[in-house]
Structure 1
Amino acid sequence: MSQATANGSFERDIAVTNADRHRLDPSEIAIGVIIGRTSEFFDFFVFAIASVIVFPARIFSFTDPVTGTLYSFAIFALAFVARPFGTWLFMTIDRRHGKGVKLTIALFGLGTSTVAVAFLPTYDQIGMAAVWLLVALRIGQGISLGGTWDGLASLLAMNAPEKHRGWWAMVPQLGAPFGLIVASGLFAFFHGFLPKEQFLDFGWQFPFFCAFAINVVALFARLRIVATPEYVHQFQRRELQATRLRQTVRSYGRFIVIGAFTPLASFALFHMVTVYPLSWIALFTDDNVTHFLIIEGFGAAVGAIAIITSGFLADKYGRRQVLWMCAVLIAIFSGFAPSMLDQGTAGEIIFMVTGFALLGVTFGQCSGAVASNFPRSYRYTGSALVSDLAWLFGAGFAPFVALFLSDLFGLIAAGAYLLSGAICTLLALRYNERVEYSEE
């Protein structure tokens, strides 16, 4: 197969401009990774925040706020259900046309699906059609997210110094707090400075408008790395080859299952400190939503610092030990921390700062927990599947389940849900003897 066929003419043209480059510097790869992940998580958090403070009023105005938010969270989960199908579709495009074509279609699809949400009519205007349009756009987001897997995290791991792979492993995860800081900041600004009627009329749309522009910047940042001769060379050597999903599942299904359950504690906590608390504050307290969005942004900054710290801890003690200890601490956290959300501003700050600090350490090292189990020729597709399933099982339905249970039984039920995620992680770590990244 010719290089033009394998990588696509679009990728080849970009590669010409990088012809004098022979080795990729990890710090340069890191820039593309962070920008790419930030754009993905920004789209994710914009929809999540709107699911609490916008959609119940505009799309589900026919029911009470709690039920409307539960409906919003159910639609929110559809992206995680659709994402594995997107992975299958875009892996096919990857094999036939190259990563440049794949990323271009996926990121434009993600940006278009996100910005189109801003133009949705309300339920009062077009009835149930508004709900079905929101469903379609959320599924479009999920399918597109399945195509944004670019292999840059694996490339970063393979180019990182052996003694500092824990440090470089945390770099892709920084996109999550950065995306939340931008999303919560934008919503806090428009929610805080506009009257409620104007915010629900047009103010909420601006964060969605930003999504397309951010995705375009992310596309070019990633293509600049993907189309370099070194990356193409590694792709041709099948080190980052898009293999068939059926073949990958048949050969390494055990590693995929273990990999999907290993980060459940981290992903359950992820939504317990990002999406769920906002719904509890908005629905069951009289606290100011704008102020909580600011607290959330501050918590995300703490989370970013904790992610960086995880790199030092993993290099010193090992990734397995870090994940194991964090799972134990998350189990302890689940027993008392959720009740802090009912203790006013001070309790909210304690919950968010503590939760984000714990999340940052575990989230910083969970993404590649079983990457070394896959041979290099299967790592690209295997890692994508692990990521899809981990988010589906650990995070996709977390806001819905946590809100549903806490509405019925109180905050203690949300803590029990988080505890179940910690137990799953401990069991997965117990059965995964090769969780270290020494072979990456």
Structure 2
Amino acid sequence: MLRLAFATLAGTAIEFYDFFVYGTAAALVLGPLFFPSFSPLAGTLAAFATFGAGFIARPIGSLLFGHVGDRMGRRPVLFISLLTTGVATVLVGCLPTYDSIGATAPVLLVALRFVQGIGLGGEWGGAVLLTAEHAPADRRALWGAFPQMGPPLGFLLANGLTLTLSTTLSDAQFLAWGWRVPFWAAGILAAGGLLLRASLAETPDFHELRRTGRQAEAPAVEVVRRHWRTLLLTAGALSCGYAVFYTVTTWGLTYGTEAAGISRTTMLALVMGAVAVMGTVTPFAAVLADRVGRRPMCLAGSILSALWTFPFAALLGTGEPALVFLAFVVALLAFVSVFAVTAAYLPELYEPRVRCTGAAVGYNLAGVLGGAVTPLVTTALTEDGGPPWGVAAWLTGIALLSLCCFAALPETRPAAPPTADTKPAVPGQPGAGDRPGDRRTPA
């Protein structure tokens, strides 16, 4: 389990490195390089629009790779998705800018961002199922937290490299070629990730599906017909986490540097420090979820997010680095209360034959509302450079939506193993949590 967990952690870290390095570049340099004829605000909005294209592509990727995962196995998904995202990221670093090829440059940028999103849409489902379906039932959230630690690690890698380049190069050098280096580094990371994943074994649940011939013929159709309610609820429930995370890590960079007057280097350091705290807390939140349940953790995270939005806006508006850091840390702790348990919660909501498709599509649909739309809305709401109260109101609305959706979802934590005085649970019935696959799933 430890070898498997670290392999999935490394893979998701690399995939999310590719995704996050684009978000950082969109906040800092892509506007003037690819949309120079726009005003500074319009250029930033255009860069965030291309950023959002990756989120729109992610549900498409989860449908494509979910079909592969439910029909052919979870393991092949990990190789194809990593290769897809890695190649697209390297090519972004090779793109000529608007000054070289005109309007073709932003068109190619959007196309490659879309391909990035397709690859990442498949990555998450394959990685979390590989750990969740191998893990013992009473430690599924803990082992599932390993691929969930990949995003913060990928973010730190992406922004750490960007921060290093930003501090060692002049602004002219960074705009000329320095911003490309993190994209080129993705090729080396992807090659290492493919080597790490070469020895991973297929999951017991899928072996059982293949042995009995019970794979879904059309997983996406089956999910829509039989699990549409769960799909919509999970998409709404997870949207707040996406909104909070990308408000801090993407829009926060732009607002901090342009409106609050904090230097680019300081803002990168503040965001990285907050994400490092989040990544450190993730396994502890997962252990708690194995004890108290998935749903209580998610409800608590949604409530904390709703309560913190206006204090978050007030602290960010001060322009004081220490207070901005506090705003970021508390917001991301609320986020991690939900996302630390997601890798266990979502797979447990779906039966094994459609689990790869259902879990991945629900997870990535949430990204469209929370991740794609939020940077656009928050940037437009702070056009005047004043305190971001409109951003706080937007985040409060999404947090309340998530709270309602989590309240409508069932608890899935497997019951404790039966004692000598209790009758063993029947596989497939509530309380059957003695092995992967025997989970409480809604009818």
TM bucket normalised to smaller: 0.7 to 0.9
**Identity among equivalent pairs (%):** 30
Deviations 1:238-279 (A, max 9, x none): 788785312221121111111111222222111122111101
Aligned partners of 1:370 and 1:436 also within 8 Å: no
**Contact 2:67–2:356 at 8 Å: present in 1 too?**
no
RMSD (Å), alpha carbons: 2.4
Partners of 2:228 and 2:177 lie apart in 1 by 47
**Equivalent AA in structure 2 for residue 423 of structure 1:** L
In the alignment, is the contact (CA less than 8 A) between 2:78 and 2:126 conserved in 1?
no
CA deviations on 1:27-79 (whole Å, 9 max, x unpaired) are: 22211210111011101110000001110121111122221111111111111
State the partner residue of 1:422. Answer: 399
* 8 Å contact from structure 1 (residues 241, 381) kept in 2: no
Supply the distance in 1 between the matched residues of 2:396 and 2:268 (Cα, whole angstroms).
25
CA contact (8 A) 2:63 2:361 kept: no
Single out whichever of 376-385 and 164-173 deviates more from structure 2.
164-173
In structure 1, the partner of 2:177 is 202
- Tell me how far apart the structure 1 counterparts of residues 303 and 178 of structure 2 sit (CA, whole Å): 42
Matching of residue 329 in structure 1 with residue 285 in structure 2: no
In structure 2, relative to structure 1, the CA distance for the partners of 1:152 and 1:52 (3 Å cut) is closer
Q: Which deviations, in whole Å up to 9, do the C-alpha atoms of 1:191-222 show, x marking residues without a partner? A: 11111000000111111011122122222323
Per the alignment, residue 347 of structure 2 pairs with: 371
Q: CA deviation at 1:232?
A: 6.4
User: Please, which of 109, 114, 119 is the counterpart of residue 134 of structure 1?
Assistant: 109
Q: Distance in 2 between matches of 1:139 and 1:361?
A: 29
Q: Secondary structure at the match of 1:85?
A: helix
CA contact (8 A) 2:294 2:411 kept: no
Matched, 1:270 2:245: yes
Contact 1:429–1:435 (Cα < 8 Å) also in 2:
no
User: Structure 2 length as normaliser, TM-score?
Assistant: 0.87
Unaligned segments of structure 1, at least 5 residues: 1-25
Who is 2:335 aligned against?
359
The equivalent of 1:9 in structure 2 is: none
**Corresponding position of 2:427:** none
Instruction: Pick the aligned partner of 2:372 from 387, 396, 400.
Output: 396
Q: 385, 393, 406: which one pairs with 2:382? A: 406
Q: Tell me: CA distance 1:55–1:377, structure 2 relative to 1, closer, same or farther (3 Å).
A: same
Q: Kindly tell me: are residues 54 and 234 of structure 1, through their superposed partners in 2, closer, same or farther at Cα, counting changes over 3 Å? A: farther
Aligned-pair CA distance for 1:223? 3.5
> Kindly tell me: are residues 100 and 380 of structure 1, through their superposed partners in 2, closer, same or farther at Cα, counting changes over 3 Å?
closer
Alpha-carbon distance between aligned partners in 2 of 1:103 and 1:154, rounded to the nearest angstrom: 11
- The 1:36–1:255 alpha-carbon spacing in structure 2 relative to 1, beyond 3 Å, is same
Give 1:159 shift: 2.9
- SS where residue 199 of structure 2 aligns? helix
TM-score if structure 1 supplies the norm length?
0.87
Match of 2:317 in 1: 342
Residue 247 of structure 1, aligned match among 222, 241, 245: 222
The verdict on how the C-alpha distance between 1:222 and 1:420 changes in structure 2, with shifts beyond 3 A counting, is farther
Segments of structure 2 that go 5 or more residues without pairing to the other structure are 416-438
SS of the aligned residue for 2:133 comes to helix
Distance 1:354 1:218 in 2: 32
1:152-208 Cα deviation digits (max 9, x unpaired): 422322332333233223222101110111111100000111110000001111110
Q: Which residue of 1 aligns with 2:28?
A: 53
User: The residue matched to 2:328 in structure 1 has which SS?
Assistant: helix
Change (3 A) 1:292 1:235: farther
Cα drift, residue 437 of structure 1: 5.6
